[in-house]
Structure 1
Amino acid sequence: MTSENNKELSIEQREELIENLKVRFERNMNRHEGLAWDKVQEKLDANPEKLWSLNEMERTGGEPDVVDYDIKNEIYVFHDCSAESPKGRRSVCYDREALESRKKHKPENSVIDMATAMGIELLTENQYRALQELGKFDMKTSSWVQTPSNIRELGGAIFCDRRYDTVFVYHNGAESYYAARGFRGSLRV
């Protein structure tokens, strides 16, 4: 069992996570052509603190997978690759300020608070668009993405989805939340 204070996985959780990540990696080679699982595993073994965050991505339905490799810094980049926005991260408004501004029917959490607690970053619009080059995601759902400060200062936030074989970027009040909108995260290992 994980502890939120120590953020460590049990041996069984670690082994199950590594196996899930390996199977997903091998089934989706189009996401990371030219990369080898043994090198990814070496990097994970050298950075066990990242496993807790990957497990949180997995636990909340994100199906994390390697989508990029930063050669210069020797860093593997994982993104949530679930077909739809992760189920365990939906019905949340954008940030703490938006959450506190709601007078009625407050959601349980916010995107920024959840991502921070999980130790991951919210995808940017560019990262979201790059992910869509690897497959078709959010065909029925939508995902909040990092919002530029000038939009957020005016009370808005942006989200993306894929419809009509096109990636769309939209806006909403940051305090809004919907059962079909969640967020996708990124983790550098």
Structure 2
Amino acid sequence: MENNRYLSPEEAEELFIILKSRFEKNMNRHIGIDWTDVEAKLSSGSNAEKLWSLNEMEKTGGEPDVVAQDQKTGEYIFYDCSAESPKDRRSICYDEDALESRKEHKPKNSAVGMAKDMGIQILSEEEYRDLQKLGHFDTKTSSWIKTPEKIREMGGGIFADFRYGNVFVYHNGAESYYAARGFRGSLKI
């Protein structure tokens, strides 16, 4: 894990330009939310490490965007909104235990491990279904989603995609990995 989890002023400015442009192009994702309020929250010094995490989402192809505001905490909720599973987060197994269990042909990382390193959470099934209400995502790829503990204890992992006009949730061995499967994350700021 990196010790320097902060963006330079130049990096932050570049990220803000990208996020604002995406926000303005996809207003259906955040009805009733004003960009100036989001930007003020992002600019807060207390959110510097979360801004770094948001940049990690961007760097790995997630195309993060605001999808909601938590009514209890006032935090803005960002999801990876790339059309397909983020390109630099594919070909990974589900978690560290699955990674360690592979004797040959190990993937470079795991979804849970990468999410932890990035300071984000893997989408739950409910969050994934909510994302799909904002557009059609993962029509050619799939994304690992948070696996219930009982399923994980039995060696499984779950993933989801969008096909034939529907969200499908499937299972695999948690140690499996495919070139078209990655993961989507969420971050509250």
TM-score interval, smaller chain: over 0.9
The residue aligned with 2:155 is 155
1:103-155 CA deviation, whole Å, 9 max, x = no partner?
Answer: 11000000111000000000000000000000000000000000000000000
The residue aligned with 2:20 is 22
Would you say 1:45 and 2:6 are equivalent positions?
Answer: no
Question: Matched residue pairs, number?
Answer: 187
Whether the aligned pair in 1 keeps the contact of 2:64 and 2:81 (CA below 8 Å) is yes
- Listed as ranges, the gaps of 5+ residues in structure 2 are none
Matches of residues 87-102 of structure 1 in structure 2 within 5 Å?
Answer: 87-102=87-102
Q: Write the letter of the residue equivalent to 1:68.
A: A
- State the alpha-carbon separation in 1 of the partners of residues 156 and 162 from structure 2: 20
Would you say 1:64 and 2:70 are equivalent positions?
Answer: no
**TM superposition outliers: structure 1 runs of 4+ over 6 Å:** none
Q: Write the letter of the residue equivalent to 2:56.
A: E
Q: Residue 50 of structure 1: CA displacement?
A: 1.1
Q: Write the letter of the residue equivalent to 1:50.
A: K
Which of 10, 13, 33 in structure 2 is aligned with 1:12? 10
Matches of residues 71-90 of structure 1 in structure 2 within 5 Å?
Answer: 71-90=71-90
The residue aligned with 2:188 is 188
The residue aligned with 1:103 is 103
Q: Write the letter of the residue equivalent to 1:52.
A: W
Q: Residue 4 of structure 1: CA displacement?
A: 2.4
- State the alpha-carbon separation in 2 of the partners of residues 165 and 12 from structure 1: 41
Which of 19, 33, 36 in structure 2 is aligned with 1:35? 33
Q: Write the letter of the residue equivalent to 2:129.
A: R
TM-score normalized with structure 1 length? 0.97
1:6-51 CA deviation, whole Å, 9 max, x = no partner?
Answer: 2111121111001100000011000000110000011111122211
Q: Write the letter of the residue equivalent to 1:38.
A: T
TM-score normalized with structure 2 length? 0.97
- State the alpha-carbon separation in 1 of the partners of residues 10 and 2 from structure 2: 17
1:82-114 CA deviation, whole Å, 9 max, x = no partner?
Answer: 000000100000011100101110000001110
